[in-house]
């Protein structure tokens, strides 16, 4: 362990280093509507690229509008080598591809990874519910007696994690899917943090995946929360979410492990917080969300004023953005810049907070704050600096990533910059 | 393996930092609550039976259903109008666990975690919702109150709302291993200081839609055993926490292990390795295991499971218990029911092993428990 440089550093949790227990991010795999792979995704974040386009995943006739943020240039065969692509659904294809990319990005050879105790945790909202949509259509036409066997086997959420394990040929592994809806990515990453910190595993492949489906689009449409054109978080004229898809998988390991193999380190995972509103099935609770941020800060050993920007849940609905900004104001005397990458990616559900975590890690590593695009005029009820429309250069030390889900499931993750100590 | 002395079964329960199970319950084909479940599995009484008219037509004539269970019947009319069966089973299971543990268990709601396993939420709710979108005059003519039922964290979330549980609230999915994965998750967030205690289990509903999907996933073969439903859950906390709250530790959780196998032929090796790893980390002698509660799927992998466990334990000294043969295949709830079964049938001081092979995920897992002396 490197000794602290001064007494001041002893008290400075953000800069204190404990090789065995510090958890770092060393690989990123991303499948998104604004780019596949780290380089393309980073370019998208820096230029404020928008993934919005008309939905093609299902027949949208009868809906007055149906824009979404689909991944349109994804070829699973480019990424998946070992397992039969036909036997995994679209969300699992995303998670497997993202895991492959993340492992390669981390510079981990397959054999090396197989020799390590590993956790694979993948968050999701819908698993392979788009397969269930397809099966439902078939059942309406032909009855339930002739449902497709492959689809009936591959729909369960568990496949998002176990498909990664099968593709990578892992054996000393704990594979779990965490279907805690729209906060699931942060849940899965937090779980990897606890597993590494507790010394249970050497490597954690964690994140989230989802594929656009009729069921979820219809549900949000019926609730009046789908935006007709674009997603405009914090804007006076915001009209709701756009359903999106993709996957984000992070490779995490202890600092000791990363240093021993000379890995490039994107960021440190400082801590996270989890709690439950236990209040309403769909409406968020401001006090409870504020408490979750405080739990995350305490776990990370930071004070609110140390946070350099917040990656908000920022769905672009009236209720979410007002409540979330209210909670931020409760916790922060002077809120830092607060952005929503959902303005670019749409709401990729279980992948959303995993992709936002990947964006935060890149922001720390590349010294910039991603923008909130499609922004015309800030809603006075959401009055904070949302870094409108253009990315901003910034030296960052601590970044906070918020995630909320139906049923009041909150998960807030805190990442920190990694500095090479001499 | 460390130099730890092989432990005498039961002794670790007295260690203050040891994780223990201090209450358990089941909402099962034997009925609602622990007593009915204990009686049924101790007697080895089959609880599957002919399906009534309401469940037909479907691919199966027999299943293990919770007798007479409905949301309104179990929980009252208030708040259950839009509640689906999976959610109602979850809310009822958590209620029964709180009754077992005593109402004070949720007295500091921010300190209580709730970790609940599910297969894929309610496939009936999900597919009904899509059906309404496909058949209505407009594709958005769906019941908005049903939408949350189509999201997989509904059961855990609604249980938290119903019982006012405000700590970490997590949904877990992993095939037959779901219950063990939920236990592992709960243990890990407890050790990380994220809750003072955790309610932990898994649930599965019987529905015509689940039956059809299982039927096709099995390749249209109806002879691989009846489906079952229900929920089983435990209270996980430290031995000290239990004692201070006046709860008696029932069993210590000594180890939880997982693995995976690439080819089906390697499943036994993977499970045996998992069991050996659990025994080694607990410092327990293989021959000291008295109870094995396995998935025992009645097919090829059930036989592999038995052989692997026998191999790891070095013989047939342990008693094999199989709740699946009694209540049916409860899918995501399987290993939670196996855990409850082990607790129901074990004698004081027993070491008990809960095991699983999940052919779909090509994964294995086990948990080693030390049942309290009395």
Measured between alpha carbons, how far is A361 from A269 in angstroms, rounded to an integer? 9
Nearest CA in chain B to A407: B157
- Bridge partners of A392? A369
- Residues with Cβ within 8 Å of B133's Cβ and at least 6 positions away in sequence, in order, are A214, A215, A218, B139, B140, B141, B142
Which residue is associated with the tokens 């656009």? A212
Tens of pLDDT, residue by residue over B114-154, are 999 999 999 999 999 999 999 999 999 999 999 999 999 99
CB burial class (10 A; 0-12, 13-18, 19+) of residue A126?
A: buried
Q: What is the CATH number assigned to the segment(s) B250-371?
A: 3.40.47.10
Measured between alpha carbons, how far is B151 from B161 in angstroms, rounded to an integer? 15
- Residues with Cβ within 8 Å of B45's Cβ and at least 6 positions away in sequence, in order, are B30, B39, B326
Q: Which residues of A touch B212 (CB under 8 A)?
A: 139, 144, 147, 152
Longest Cα–Cα distance of chain B, Å, equals 71
Q: Which of A347, A365, A375, A382 is catalytic?
A: A347
Instruction: Indicate the pairing of strand B363-371 with strand B351-358.
Output: antiparallel
CA distances (Å), A281 to each of B144, B149, B361, in order?
A: 12, 10, 31
Q: With an 8 Å Cβ cutoff, are B262 and A179 in contact?
A: no
Measured between alpha carbons, how far is B357 from B294 in angstroms, rounded to an integer? 9
Coil, strand or helix at A189:
helix
Long-range residue pairs from A392-395, CB within 8 A, at least 24 positions apart, any chain: A392/A337, A392/A368, A393/A367, A393/A368, A394/A308, A394/A309, A394/A337, A394/A367, A394/A368, A394/A369, A395/A367
Measured between alpha carbons, how far is B158 from B84 in angstroms, rounded to an integer? 11
CB contact burial A259-273 (16+ within 10 A = b; e otherwise) = beeebebbbbbbbbb
- State the Cα torsion A388-A274-A265-A31 to the nearest 10°: -60
Q: With an 8 Å Cβ cutoff, are B152 and A124 in contact?
A: yes
Q: Which residues of A touch B360 (CB under 8 A)?
A: 153, 156, 158-159, 162
B99 token code pair: 């009754």
Half-sphere exposure of B13 (CA within 13 A, CB side): 24
Q: With an 8 Å Cβ cutoff, are B260 and A140 in contact?
A: no
A182 is catalytic: yes
Interface test with A, best of B91, B119, B192 (most A CBs within 10 A): B192
**Mean pLDDT per 10-residue run, chain A (422 residues)?**
40 63 96 98 98 98 98 97 96 98 97 97 97 98 96 97 98 98 98 97 98 98 98 98 98 97 97 96 95 98 98 97 98 98 98 98 98 98 97 98 96 95 53
Q: How far is CA B274 from the centre of its chain?
A: 19
CB-based contact A49:A36 (threshold 8 Å): no
Report pLDDT for A11: 44
Q: Cis (ω within 30 of 0) for the bond into B57?
A: yes
Report pLDDT for A10: 40
Q: With an 8 Å Cβ cutoff, are A63 and B140 in contact?
A: yes
Backbone CA torsion sign across A274, A123, B82, B96: negative
Domain boundaries, chain A: 23-260, 271-416
Half-sphere exposure of B224 (CA within 13 A, CB side): 18
Q: With an 8 Å Cβ cutoff, are B119 and A133 in contact?
A: no
SS (H, E, C) B175-188: HHHHHHHHHHHHHH
Q: Which residues of B touch A291 (CB under 8 A)?
A: 110
Q: With an 8 Å Cβ cutoff, are B260 and A157 in contact?
A: no
Report pLDDT for A21: 82
* Total residue length of chain B: 374
Name residues 52-91 of chain B within 8 A of A (Cβ): 59
A80 token code pair: 């998946």
Among 3.40.50.450, 3.30.379.10, 3.40.50.720, 3.40.47.10, name the CATH number for the domain at B19-244.
3.40.47.10
Q: Taking Cα atoms as reference points, which of A200, A45, A42 lies closest to residue A121? A: A200
Q: Which residues of A touch B185 (CB under 8 A)?
A: 176, 191
CB burial class (10 A; 0-12, 13-18, 19+) of residue A73?
A: exposed
Coil, strand or helix at A161:
helix
Report how far apart the first and last C-alpha atoms of chain A are (Å, whole number): 12
Q: Which CATH class is domain A23-260?
A: alpha beta
Q: With an 8 Å Cβ cutoff, are A407 and B142 in contact?
A: no
Where would I find the beta strands (DSSP E) of A92-185? 118-123, 173-178
Q: Do domains A23-260 and A271-416 have the same CATH topology?
A: yes
Longest Cα–Cα distance of chain A, Å, equals 74
Q: Which residues of A touch B150 (CB under 8 A)?
A: 129, 215-216, 219
Nearest CA in chain A to B257: A174
- Residues with Cβ within 8 Å of B107's Cβ and at least 6 positions away in sequence, in order, are none
Q: With an 8 Å Cβ cutoff, are A406 and B153 in contact?
A: yes
- Residues with Cβ within 8 Å of B342's Cβ and at least 6 positions away in sequence, in order, are B291, B293, B321, B352, B353, B354, B369
Q: With an 8 Å Cβ cutoff, are A156 and B175 in contact?
A: yes
- Residue B180 contacts A, CB cutoff 8 Å: no
Report pLDDT for A19: 80
- Residue B33 contacts A, CB cutoff 8 Å: no
H runs (alpha helix) in A198-274? 214-222, 255-260
Report pLDDT for A41: 98
Report pLDDT for B11: 37
Measured between alpha carbons, how far is B264 from B362 in angstroms, rounded to an integer? 7
Q: What is the CATH number assigned to the segment(s) A271-416?
A: 3.40.47.10
Measured between alpha carbons, how far is A187 from A181 in angstroms, rounded to an integer? 10
Phi first, then psi, for residue A322 (nearest 5°) are -65, -45
Report pLDDT for A18: 80
Domain boundaries, chain B: 19-244, 250-371
SS (H, E, C) chain B: CCCCCCCCCCHHHHCCCCEEEEEEEEEECCEECHHHHHHHHHHCCCCCEECCHHHCCCCCCEEECCCCCCHHHHHCCCCCCCCCHHHHHHHHHHHHHHHHHCHHHHCCHHHEEEEEECCCCCHHHHHHHHHHHHHCCCCCCCCHHHHHHHCCCHHHHHHHHHHCCCCCEEEEECHHHHHHHHHHHHHHHHHCCCCCEEEEEEEECCCHHHHHHHHHHCCCCCCCCCEECEEEEEEEEEHHHHHHCCCCCCEEEEEEEEEECCCHHHHHHHHHHHHHHHHHHHCCCHHHEEEEECCCCCCHHHHHHHHHHHHHHCCCCCEEECCHHHHCECHHHHHHHHHHHHHHHCCCCCEEEEEEEECCCCEEEEEEEEECCC
Name residues 101-160 of chain B within 8 A of A (Cβ): 109-110, 114, 118-121, 123, 126-127, 129-131, 133-135, 138-140, 142, 144, 147-148, 150-154, 156-158, 160
Backbone CA torsion sign across B58, B63, B69, B71: negative
Which residues of chain B fall short of a pLDDT of 50? 1-14
Query: Least CB-CB distance to A173: which of B192, B214, B258?
Result: B258
- Residues with Cβ within 8 Å of B118's Cβ and at least 6 positions away in sequence, in order, are A157, A179, B86, B152, B155, B156, B171, B172, B173, B178, B202, B203, B204, B332
Report pLDDT for A9: 42
Phi first, then psi, for residue A106 (nearest 5°) are -80, -5
CB-based contact A209:A91 (threshold 8 Å): yes
Report pLDDT for B332: 98
Nearest CA in chain B to A165: B260
Q: Taking Cα atoms as reference points, which of A188, A206, A243 lies closest to residue A95? A: A206
């Amino acid at each position: 362990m490197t000794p602290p440089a001064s007494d001041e550093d002893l008290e400075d949790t953000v800069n204190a280093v404990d090789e065995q227990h510090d958890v770092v991010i060393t690989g990123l795999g991303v499948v998104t509507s604004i780019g596949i792979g780290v380089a393309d995704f980073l370019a998208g974040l820096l230029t404020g690229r928008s993934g919005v386009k008309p939905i093609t995943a299902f027949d949208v006739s009868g809906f007055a509008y149906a824009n979404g943020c689909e991944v349109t240039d994804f070829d699973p065969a480019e990424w998946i080598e070992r397992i039969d692509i036909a036997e995994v659904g679209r969300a699992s294809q995303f998670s497997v591809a993202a895991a492959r990319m993340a492992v390669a990005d981390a510079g981990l050879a397959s054999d090396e990874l197989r020799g390590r105790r590993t956790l694979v945790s993948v968050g999701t909202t819908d698993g392979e519910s788009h397969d269930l949509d397809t099966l439902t259509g078939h059942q309406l036409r032909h009855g339930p007696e002739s449902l497709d066997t492959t689809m009936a086997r591959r729909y369960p959420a568990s496949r998002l994690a176990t498909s990664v394990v099968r593709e990578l040929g892992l054996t000393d592994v704990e594979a779990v899917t965490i279907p805690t809806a729209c906060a699931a990515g942060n849940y899965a990453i937090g779980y990897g943090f606890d597993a590494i910190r507790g010394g249970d595993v050497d490597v954690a492949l964690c994140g989230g995946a989802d594929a656009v489906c009729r069921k979820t689009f219809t549900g949000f449409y019926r609730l009046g929360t789908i935006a007709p054109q674009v997603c405009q978080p914090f804007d006076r004229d915001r009209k709701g979410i756009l359903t999106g898809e993709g996957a984000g998988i992070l490779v995490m390991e202890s600092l000791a492990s990363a240093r021993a193999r000379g890995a490039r380190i994107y960021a440190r995972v400082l801590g996270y917080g989890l709690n439950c509103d236990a209040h309403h099935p769909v409406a968020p609770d401001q006090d409870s969300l504020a408490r979750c941020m405080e739990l995350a800060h305490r776990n990370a050993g930071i004070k609110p004023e140390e946070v350099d920007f917040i990656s908000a849940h920022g769905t672009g609905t009236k209720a979410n953005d007002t409540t979330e900004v209210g909670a931020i104001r409760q916790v922060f005397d002077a809120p830092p810049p607060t952005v929503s990458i959902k303005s670019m990616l749409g709401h990729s559900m279980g992948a959303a907070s995993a992709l936002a975590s990947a964006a935060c890690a890149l922001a720390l590593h590349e010294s910039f704050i991603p923008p909130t695009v499609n922004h015309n005029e800030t809603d006075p009820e959401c009055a904070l600096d949302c870094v409108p429309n253009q990315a901003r250069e910034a030296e960052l030390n601590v970044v906070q990533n918020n995630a909320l889900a139906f049923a009041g499931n909150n998960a807030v993750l805190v990442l920190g910059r990694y500095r090479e100590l001499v | 393996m460390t130099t730890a002395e092989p432990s005498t079964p039961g002794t670790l329960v007295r260690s203050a930092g040891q994780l223990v199970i201090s209450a358990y319950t089941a909402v099962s084909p034997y009925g609602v609550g622990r007593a009915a479940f204990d009686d049924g599995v101790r007697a080895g009484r089959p609880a599957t039976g002919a399906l009534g008219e309401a469940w037909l037509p479907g691919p199966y004539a027999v299943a293990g259903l919770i007798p007479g269970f409905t949301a309104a019947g179990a929980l009252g009319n208030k708040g259950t109008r839009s509640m689906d069966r999976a959610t109602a089973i979850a809310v009822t299971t958590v209620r029964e666990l709180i009754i077992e543990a005593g109402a004070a268990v949720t007295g500091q709601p921010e300190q209580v975690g709730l970790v609940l396993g599910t297969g894929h939420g309610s496939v009936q709710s999900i597919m009904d919702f899509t059906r309404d979108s496909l058949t209505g005059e407009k594709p958005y003519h769906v019941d908005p109150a049903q939408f949350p039922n189509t999201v997989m964290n509904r059961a855990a979330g609604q249980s938290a709302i119903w019982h006012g549980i405000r700590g970490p609230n997590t949904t877990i999915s992993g095939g037959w291993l779901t219950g063990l994965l939920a236990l592992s998750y709960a243990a890990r967030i407890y050790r990380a200081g994220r809750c003072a205690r955790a309610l932990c289990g898994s649930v599965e509903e019987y529905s015509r839609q689940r039956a059809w999907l299982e039927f096709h996933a099995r390749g249209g073969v109806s002879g691989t055993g009846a489906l079952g439903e229900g929920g089983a859950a435990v209270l996980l906390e430290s031995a000290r926490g239990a004692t201070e709250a006046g709860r008696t530790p029932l069993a210590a959780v000594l180890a939880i292990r997982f693995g995976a196998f690439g080819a089906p032929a390697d499943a036994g090796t993977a499970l045996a390795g998992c069991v050996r790893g659990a025994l080694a980390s607990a410092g327990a002698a293989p021959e000291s295991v008295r109870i094995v509660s396995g998935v025992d799927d009645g097919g090829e992998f059930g036989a592999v499971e038995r052989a692997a466990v026998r191999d790891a334990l070095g013989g047939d000294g342990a008693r094999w218990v199989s709740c699946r043969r009694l209540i049916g295949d409860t899918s995501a709830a399987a290993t939670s029911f196996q855990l409850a079964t082990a607790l129901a049938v074990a004698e004081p001081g027993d070491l008990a092993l809960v095991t699983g092979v999940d052919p779909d995920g090509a994964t294995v897992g086990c948990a080693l428990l030390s049942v309290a002396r009395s």
